[in-house]
Amino acid sequence: MTAATRPPVGPTPVGPDEPVAPAAGVAADTGSAETRRSARSGVAGLLGAATSGLFGFVLAVVITRGYGTAGAGAFFAAIGVVTVATAVCTLGAETGLMWALPRRTAGVRGDAARLLPVALIPPLLAGLLVAGVGVLVADALAPRLLGGSGASGDALLTVTFAAVPVVVAMTLLLAALRCVRPIRAYVGVQFLLLPVARPVLVGAAALAGGGLLAGMTGWLVPAALALLACLTLVAGPLGLGRGATLRPVRSDWSTFWRFALPRAASAAIDAGSMWVGVLLTSVLAGPADAGVFGAVGRYVLAGQLAMQGLRVAVSPQLSRLLGRGERAAAAAVHRQLTIWGLVLSWPVYLLLAVFALAFLQLFGPEFTAGVPAMTVLALAMLVNTGVGNVQSLLLMGGRSGLHLVATVAGLTVTVSLGLWLIPSYGATGAAVAWAAGIATENLTAAGFARSVVREPLFDAAMVRAAAVTVAGVGLAAGAGVLAGGRGLPGLLVALAVLLAGCVGMLTLPRVRAGIRGTMRQIRAGDNAATAAEPTPASTRGR
């Protein structure tokens, strides 16, 4: 961010293309301090993501059991509509807030509050426009997009489009909340309120026989509750209602949207990557295949929640570091959290690949047709989690244009292969297309991130962690397949073996020492980081 967009307080601001590298000794101390700081935020994000993943799975079970393959396909397609529409309408402003707010001063006398009109007004106008047009054309779109919804399709799509402005506002205020409050506030709203309330309300609607419209309403109501919670939590730190200025200057608009607009397209692609597949499958192969693919996608996205939890936990920290030119510290944080994400995510995806049948049987026997799709996508996600949050490095470094290139490459591969494969292979074709897009986007983004950060993003510790994870889970999965096949009995055996192995590893002195070191980081993360360097004015109030 340029000097014109910050007050003349604190250290001289540094833009993403004008780094000032610290001295070698200072860089080493800073890197160590920043990894300690990231440990505390990372654990909070992981705990929240685990809760969100659990209740996300419960929600998928409620939808699939309550509405069947065709009804679930229509329900997932409706969720896809609001998800993609919201991602388009936010115009990249949520990432812009994550990038810009940590570089500003919060409080009554700060300049952070005046970013809110800049970030909120254009997306809300876009949301209102999309909602209005969507409501008008819902009758024409419903038969194509929501083929399994029956007579309620028109009303279902109308409610879905009408909710877009609310979900847009919630998404933007969640981003602001992450930057101005401790991580636990964000976790409470994003990872607890939303995922816990949704299966409860959707399940209540299904049990009451309310149909798809009532179920979708139950899915949308928590967004309004989250919006109110975010408004309450953001107001204090930004000084809203206590004299903080909300009138932006011209440079606020230009600087913010110069970053956010390239992110607008990539955000839509990121959020819609799965839902594009659901909608294409619904149109090209029918609602039943779309329901199967949507159920598979819920598992795949649940496995990704560990990486998402880590990303939202440390994105403001990465923005601050990269904005000050401290690339070595940012790379150290990235490497540490990539190891965490790999160790936590790879077992999930390896088990999903081997025991896809067991997982899909939980949704009902009609969903077991998605076994090949589940296996393909689970293996593709090993690439996604293996490279770490390279997208965050690009975005928080201000290189939203490069991120857009990577996401467009992935979307092009997904859609091209989807149009070719889905008509003949249904959900399996959609999975192959999405898997190819995932690999393309992540490998491209990893190459860009390495060139931007100019520090090693991978090291021997990551290779060792990957090898140990694959070997351990592979042995447990092999024992499960031999003992009980690829169904639920085999999965239970594999989980038991894996649990026994984890308990056994706790007896190793090296493992215990590593756990103690991590716990010290968590307990002393903020204090240690603060002791290592003074807090700049641009980060006060967060």
Per-residue pLDDT tens over the stretch 219-268: 999 999 999 999 999 888 888 777 777 788 888 898 888 888 877 777 66
Task: Please state the rounded mean pLDDT for residues 320-328.
Answer: 78
So what's the pLDDT on residue 249? 85
- The better pLDDT of the pair 485, 302 is held by 485
pLDDT at 83 over 90: no
Note the pLDDT of residue 222.
93
Average pLDDT of the residues in 350-371 = 85
The amino acid at 210: G
Contact criterion met (CB below 8 Å) for 215 and 63: yes
Please tell me the distance from the alpha carbon of residue 390 to that of residue 418, in angstroms, as a whole number: 26
- Residue 166 is predicted with a pLDDT of 94
Q: Quick one: pLDDT at residue 148?
A: 53
Stretch 69-73: mean pLDDT: 76
In this predicted model, what pLDDT tens digit does every residue of 400-425 receive, in sequence order?
Answer: 788 888 888 888 898 888 888 888 88
* Rounded mean pLDDT, 273-286: 70
pLDDT at 152: 66
Mean model confidence pLDDT for the chain: 77
pLDDT for position 131: 93
- Classify residue 187 by its DSSP letter: I
pLDDT band with cut points at 50, 70 and 90 for residue 1? very low
CA dist 405 → 242, 267, 386 (Å): 42, 12, 20
Count of CB atoms situated within 10 Å of the CB of 250: 8
With a cut of 90, say whether residue 273 has pLDDT above it: no
pLDDT of residue 126: 94
Greater model confidence, 352 or 285 = 352
| 3-class secondary structure, 400 | helix
The per-residue pLDDT for range 482-493, each reduced to its tens digit, is: 988 888 898 999
Q: What is the pTM of this model?
A: 0.63
pLDDT interval class at 11 (50, 70, 90)? very low
Contact (CB, 8 A) for 294 and 278: yes
pLDDT of res. 124: 95
Output the pLDDT for position 227.
93
- DSSP-based helix, strand, coil % in the chain, nearest 5: 85, 0, 15
What was the pLDDT predicted at 205?
87
Asked if 139 and 154 touch (Cβ cutoff 8 Å), the reply is: yes
Q: What was the pLDDT predicted at 520?
A: 53
User: Is 398 a residue whose pLDDT tops 70?
Assistant: yes
Q: Which residue has the higher pLDDT, 42 or 365?
A: 365
- pLDDT tens-place string over residues 420-447: 888 888 888 888 998 998 899 999 988 8
Least confident of 214-218, 274-278, 498-502: 274-278
Percent of the chain exceeding pLDDT 70 equals 78
Q: Which of 413, 129, 93 is nearest to 262 (CA)?
A: 93
pLDDT of 68 strictly over 80: no
Q: Which pLDDT value is given to residue 201?
A: 92
Question: So what's the pLDDT on residue 290?
Answer: 74
**Confidence (pLDDT) at 127:** 94
Long-range contacts at 108-112 (CB < 8 A, ≥ 24 apart) = 108/239, 108/242, 108/243, 108/244, 109/239, 109/244, 110/7, 110/238, 110/239, 110/244, 110/540, 110/541, 111/5, 111/6, 111/7, 111/245, 112/180, 112/238, 112/541
pLDDT tens digits, one per residue of 117-138: 999 999 999 999 999 998 898 8
Per-residue pLDDT tens over the stretch 504-517: 776 767 666 665 65
The answer, yes or no, to whether residue 388 has pLDDT greater than 90, is: no
Maximum Cα–Cα distance for the chain, whole Å? 68
The pLDDT > 90 percentage for the chain reads 13
Q: What number is the average pLDDT over the span 136-161?
A: 75
Rounded mean pLDDT of 146-171?
A: 81
Residue 376 to residue 373: CA distance in whole angstroms: 5
Residue 168 confidence class, pLDDT cut points 50, 70, 90: very high
pLDDT of 70 higher than 90? no
